[in-house]
A and B are shown apart, each in its own frame.
Chain A
């Protein structure tokens, strides 16, 4: 190590308060040695003092993250614990282990793995799988998966109807199994409706390979966006058609408490980041982005509430309307000017005041 490097170690330790009293004294006398030592220290101190900026996460979305966490914890819970009952009797011990072996074997052959079952009841559920894929589960439907969900293929079993937004992972294919069919994807969005007489798969994005369960590979159909395939359970035949809109996924908005929240409190799901400056004719130019973090709600006509003031001046307000449509998960850019040419604006705040909810079936 060079002598120079040791200097830097001592300077940083001095600045962070990691030197003992003796070391401090030695350091201060080193400073007295030469002008170049002092200049070096001045520069280092300026760097140290200037690097105080801590970044903040704009929208930590704590509640949403807590839901995600709980889903994750739930999916990894073991089935139960074995409590030793018979401590003293050898005979009982043998009997107990025999019983245990029998019970264990039974569970091994019947269940194999702990299964997580999610049943929706009379409300549409929005949930995350352990791989962060999002699922909307229609009313009176059941979705289940086993403990080794993420180990090899990501397999879920469905009874009823669900819409899947699958997190892309080319190493683990995502598979939806119904009593009669399977649908295999890598990372897409699609709807599976397993009714009594037929299973219908409709694709929103990406590609889905759909087939009768345990059938030969040649019988697969590969569906692209807006394509729909119907497998008739009795006839064992497959029809293909096109879906002209997203109506097939519209059920997600009914009886869905999460969506109702998104409609009522648009402000909670819209966040804006922005910068502003004065242009040559002294208008404040605001440039920023708006992000929609809702699960389903599509927002438009977003009203931004701007407050600004000049030093010592009264606070003024202005409203800007962003007409663009913002889909869930989407971020849009905007740029607007204020008519504040006679104001030496020095403080300016922008927040989302309200927004309209797009009710068409675009998403």
Chain B
């Protein structure tokens, strides 16, 4: 067990704060709540500093604690989700504007659809899709069985598909049109 002086604690906070805020924000969809969640995580870390080993694992610990706390927050506050949906889209458009990155309409719609998923589904899907966690790791992080994770991943994907159905068709029509154009070009040449 290593001691954790206050200076190192500040350093640790500075190093991970923004990243953890982003993780929490993607799950709960509310900036202030995300910051509060990260505060909680660090207060807990400070209180348990006697029992923890500080090294590479601390990053892992912080990630897990933030994901779990965000999940609990989302479950406890489902009713406010519709309000934040709008805010989420706002930020998204900002990202599009500032970064000069072009997101396709389908991607923006997909993000909104992810935000509409039920809490458990949403958290699991984000951890898998965005954070690249394996099913077992998600189960460990959220304290769920692996069976639940597999099942919820299926439900998430199914819901997203049916939610995005109208836009998927457009995409597929576009692909077909491209193929058609190609064939046409072949025919006339």
Contact = CB atoms under 8 A, between A and B. Distances in A.
A65 interface: yes
Main secondary structure of the interface of B (DSSP, over half): helix
A69 B168 contact: no
A13 B149 CA distance: 10
Contact of A66 (B14, B29, B103): B14
Contacts of A11: 154, 157
Interface stretch (B30-38, B51-59, B60-68): B30-38
B18 A60 contact: yes
A60 B17 contact: yes
A34 interface: no
Contacts of B128: 12, 16
Interface in B67-124: 88, 90-98, 100, 103-104, 106-111, 113-114
A55 B25 contact: yes
Contacts of A61: 35
Contact of A275 (B35, B46, B93, B114): B93
A62 B18 contact: yes
B42 A8 contact: no
Nearest to A58: B91
B86 to A, nearest CB: 13
Contact of A56 (B10, B22, B103, B134): B22
A79 interface: no
Given A16-B153, A47-B164, A51-B114, A69 B91 contact: no
A275 B157 contact: no
Given A66-B17, A69-B42, A16 B98 contact: no
A51 B111 contact: yes
Contacts of A275: 90, 93-94, 96-97
Given A55-B92, A66-B13, A276-B97, A12 B157 contact: yes
Contacts of A76: 43, 47
A63 to B, nearest CB: 8
B21 interface: yes
A55 B160 contact: no
Contacts of B161: 43-44, 47
A347 interface: yes
B94 A273 contact: yes
Interface string A37-72: 000001110111011111111101111011011101
Contacts of B164: 47, 50
Contacts of B160: 47, 51
B129 A52 contact: yes
A46 B92 contact: no
